[in-house]
A = this chain, B = another copy of it.
């Protein structure tokens, strides 16, 4: 309605925040307009350093990210943040916490914070997140921080998105087997023990070190383990130094290119997957056939693999499959 995509893109390229926000909303709803916009801006992407900050609920991610923003702002870097909020698959809804932090930086035009939920996304959150990162990139952000709960298991796989992954842990969450079980040691480029003033921080340090030694890391980067107290800002400057050292390492070693290809590959996979599934839900006729098959599978009249074969055949060659099954 009103402003068309091309105009929004022109405005975005001039650094217009409202145009960026509108394009992000389009991206979140996986609108074809958003994809048209991404096609137009794609060549201007690739300038920002994309940092993932991930950790369990309660590990202080939001607080740490706020402090990181402050620190990068001191260096005059422009900062974009994508806060991924695993909101309810059913009700959705905005969150008090995110509102509060967005207000905190509301007057600083060098900061753009976007909160994203999984509502109504049909598994498309990963997809939309990539697009939002691209929009922030083109908006001229030097640093883009993607904040997400958990790692590896999350719908938004942070290693598919970020160049530098900061993995947060806090003392006293689970025991050592659980730490290893979380199975996320290999994806961290920098490990942070937040709330390092709590009991058990030293023990956690030793556990992390042991777990890092267990893992088979193929890269030349030796991930540091840092301690922070995000609430007071302690250790945040050191974290920024480590983040920038990792970026320098990526550039100098040429790993930034491998990293880019890995991310492009993952993104392409995601788009292909979702394009296919979207077809099921967008086209009425396909949707009806899908539901017809679901009922047959529910009734155990056919098995799900046969149903999937019929469905794929139908999607691929609409004329060849009748209504007979």
Using a CB–CB cutoff of 8 Å, the interface residues on chain A facing chain B are: 35, 38-39, 42-43, 45-46, 56-58, 85-91, 95-97, 117-118, 130, 149-150, 152-155, 159, 173-175, 177-187, 215-216, 257, 260-261, 264-265, 267-269, 271-273, 275-277, 280, 290-291, 293-295, 297-298, 300, 302-309, 311-312, 315-316
Residues of B within 8 A of A272 (CB): 276-277, 280, 308, 311-312, 315
Question: Which residues of the partner chain B approach A302 to less than 8 Å between Cβ atoms?
Answer: 42
Name the residue on B nearest A61 (C-beta): B178
Are A183's CB and B273's CB within 8 A?
no
Chain B CB count within 10 A is highest, among A46, A88, A155, for A88
Give the contacting residue for A308; candidates B155, B216, B271; CB below 8 A: B271
Which residues on the B side are within 8 Å of A178 (C-beta)? 57-58
Task: Check A298/B257 contact, CB under 8 A, given A88-B152, A153-B150, A187-B89.
Answer: yes
Given A152-B89, A153-B86, A306-B39, decide whether A269 and B280 contact each other with a Cβ distance below 8 A. yes
In the complex with contacts A181-B95, A272-B312, A303-B42, A186-B88 CB distance below 8 A: yes
For A95, the chain B residues whose CB sits under 8 A away are: 177, 180-181
Q: Are B276 and A182 in contact (CB under 8 A)?
A: no
| A126 CB to nearest B CB, Å | 11
> A275 touches which one: B57, B186, B308 (CB < 8 A)?
B308
Name A185's contact: one of B38, B88, B315 (CB within 8 Å).
Answer: B88
Do A90 and B186 touch (CB < 8 A)? yes
- What is the chain B residue whose CB lies nearest that of A89? B152
Q: Are A269 and B260 in contact (CB under 8 A)?
A: no
Interface pair A300/B177, CB less than 8 Å apart? no
User: Which residues of chain B are within 8 angstroms of A308 by Cβ–Cβ distance?
Assistant: 268, 271-272, 275
Whether B46 contacts A267 by the Cβ 8 Å rule is no
B86–A182 CB distance below 8 A = yes
| Bound CA–CA A45/B174 (angstroms) | 36
- Interchain CB contact under 8 A, A175 and B58: yes
Interface centre among A155, A178, A311, A316 (most CB of B within 10 A): A178
- Residues of the B chain whose Cβ atoms lie less than 8 Å from the Cβ of A277: 269, 272-273
Q: Given contacts A276-B312, A311-B272, are A181 and B85 in contact (CB under 8 A)? A: yes
Complex CA–CA separation, A149 to B56 (angstroms): 11
In the bound complex, what is the Cα–Cα distance between A91 and B186 (angstroms)? 8
Closest to A305 in B: B35
Interface residue from B173, B174, B304 paired with A268 (Cβ < 8 Å): B304
